[in-house]
């Protein structure tokens, strides 16, 4: 849950999750819709899907107990080398590194590594260097120490707090005054921008919904009808008419933006009414949507415009 998400945001989700799904078996058995509903608003929905897949494997292959070795943990969906190292070292005492981006930054500064820490060969090299430093006992504490150093002292944006740093005397970046230069991270690629027209289509206070495919961004979540590209009101009415839907009262409400790691959606949001509830859509009241239909949070700004 904490991947790419702030702790304060996660806490209420964590409690709700543990209340509804207190065991691995309960997680393995939950219906996908209910799982998405519990996760709604946290984003990166494949994390939820992966947790369920991992729970199924743990129940079927490991008798309901999480495997203890990093190499087995890494085979579970959603668990990468960092998470596997963190679980294995902190929970089970295995002598393995737990290195995420923050730890790579700290170690690159300490060792004076000039290679790009976003590249896998450099990460492998740094992980190897950490592995050589690991103590035989309390490896989890050591790993957590590095993680905390990255979070609190050897911070990413702006100058690290070298004056308070316990490893200052062994730090190459400090010695050579390279804290602003290291670590080397190449710029992120720019995001692809997609333009969309979103229609809050209503009929007798019911709202049209569509479920997204299971192999796309925000898989299986629900959304309002979308026409690709920005349309004017008449173009939108025409596009809907081609699908057999006659609309009235069409008007532009607002513009919204949703930002993902690799793309941005720029959305023009329209309101429209129709007489008939065409079967291409699922028609639900606002209350039903809030209770049972996980709508992608990209559309959160549309909520206040839906009829009660």
Binding site for ligand SF4 (CB under 6 A): 106, 109-110, 153-154, 160-162, 165, 167-168, 171, 173-174, 179
Q: In terms of CB distance, is 109 or 206 closer to ligand SF4?
A: 109
Q: Which residues of 68-85 are buried (b: 16+ CB within 10 A; e: fewer)?
A: eebeebbebeebebbbbb
Q: State the Cα–Cα distance between residues 35 and 294, nearest whole angstrom.
A: 9
* Residue with smaller CB distance to ligand SF4, 102 or 202: 102
Give min distance, CB of 88 to ligand SF4, in A: 25
- We find the least distance from the C-beta atom of residue 186 to ligand SF4, in angstroms, to be 20
Residue number, 34 or 176, with CB nearest to ligand SF4: 176
Shortest distance, position 154 Cβ to ligand SF4, whole Å: 3
Q: Residue 83 CB, nearest distance to ligand SF4 (Å)?
A: 24
**Nearest to ligand SF4 of 54, 146 (CB atom):** 146
Q: How many CB atoms neighbour CB 264 within 10 A?
A: 15
Angstrom CA distances, 30 to 26, 47, 110, 153, 203, stand at 6, 15, 46, 41, 32
Q: Which two tokens stand for residue 24?
A: 């691995």
Within 8 A by CB and 6+ apart from 152, the residues are 161
Cβ of residue 168: shortest distance to ligand SF4, in angstroms? Answer: 4
Residue 170 or 232 with smaller CB distance to ligand SF4: 170
Contact between 249 and 307 (Cβ < 8 Å): no
CB of 52 to ligand SF4, least distance (A): 39
User: Considering beta carbons, is residue 135 or 163 the nearer one to ligand SF4?
Assistant: 163
């Amino acid at each position: 849950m904490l991947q790419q998400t702030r702790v304060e945001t996660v806490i209420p989700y964590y409690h709700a999750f543990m209340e509804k799904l207190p065991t691995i078996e309960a997680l393995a058995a939950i219906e996908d819709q209910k799982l998405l509903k519990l996760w709604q608003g946290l984003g990166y929905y494949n994390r939820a899907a992966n947790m369920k897949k991992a729970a199924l494997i743990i129940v079927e292959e490991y008798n309901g107990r999480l495997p203890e070795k990093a190499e087995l943990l890494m085979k579970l969906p959603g668990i990468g080398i960092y998470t596997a190292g963190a679980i294995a070292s902190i929970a089970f005492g295995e002598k393995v590194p737990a290195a995420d981006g923050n730890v790579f930054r700290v170690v690159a500064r300490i060792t004076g590594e000039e290679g790009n820490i976003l590249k896998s060969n450099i990460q492998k090299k740094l992980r190897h260097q950490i592995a050589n430093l690991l103590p035989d006992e309390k490896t989890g504490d050591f790993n957590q120490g590095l993680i905390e150093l990255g979070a609190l002292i050897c911070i990413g944006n702006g100058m690290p707090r070298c004056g308070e740093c316990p490893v200052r005397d062994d730090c190459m970046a400090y010695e050579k005054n390279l804290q602003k230069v290291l670590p080397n991270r190449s710029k992120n690629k720019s995001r692809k921008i997609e333009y969309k027209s979103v229609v809050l289509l209503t009929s007798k206070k019911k709202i049209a919904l569509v479920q997204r495919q299971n192999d796309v961004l925000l898989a299986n979540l629900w959304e309002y009808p979308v026409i690709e590209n920005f349309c004017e009101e008449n173009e939108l009415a025409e596009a809907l008419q081609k699908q057999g839907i006659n609309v009235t009262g069409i008007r532009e409400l607002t513009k919204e933006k949703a930002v993902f790691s690799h793309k941005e959606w720029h959305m023009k949001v329209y309101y429209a009414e129709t007489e008939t509830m065409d079967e291409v859509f699922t028609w639900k009241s606002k209350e039903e949507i809030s209770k049972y239909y996980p709508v992608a949070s990209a559309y959160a700004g549309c909520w206040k415009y839906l009829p009660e």
